[in-house]
Amino acid sequence: MDEILNFFKECGVFFVSTVDGDKPRVRPFSFSMEYEDKLCFATSNKKPVYAQLVSNPNVEISASSKDGRWLRLSGKAVFCTSKESKTKALETLPMLKHIYSPDDDIFEIFYLENAVANFCSLQGDSKSISL
């Protein structure tokens, strides 16, 4: 998991793909954390991405580095929102405190169940990690 978290930190921005009906939807994310031995992400339940995750939890995340490596991470979104998970997220990225609080009813935390990370490079190297 550390390798994946470090890759996301190195990239800064990564892209989360969901399904909206029969259409793909992709948007940038920049937050990830480890919580209770799970790789977690955060969003607002007021955003379309939340409704898409609830309707169809299949997700794929893509990130690329400046040196020609990339990561594809896929799995099923499972929400693990609690006051504790929100508090941990706000400690991990304090700037989120301008938007969310542990006591609000819009901040959501999720992880990917049965996730598989595929690391690749322009040189043709590849490696898979199951979470």
82-128 residue pLDDT tens: 999 999 999 999 999 999 999 999 999 999 999 999 999 888 889 99
Q: What is the pLDDT of residue 124?
A: 83
- pLDDT for the residue numbered 58: 97
Q: Which two tokens stand for residue 9?
A: 């930190």
pLDDT at 7: 95
Position 53, amino acid: L
33 in helix, strand or coil? strand
Give residue for tokens 């259409």: 23
**pLDDT value of position 85:** 98
Q: Which class for 118: exposed (0-12), middle (13-18), buried (19 or more C-beta within 10 A)?
A: middle
pLDDT at position 125 is: 87
Domains in the chain, ordered, with CATH? 2-130 (2.30.110.10)
Render pLDDT for 35-63 as a digit per residue (tens, 0 to 9). 999 999 999 999 999 999 999 999 999 99
Pairing state of beta strands 69-79 and 58-64?
antiparallel
pTM for the full predicted model: 0.93
Which pLDDT score is estimated for 122?
A: 85
What's the pLDDT at 36? Answer: 96
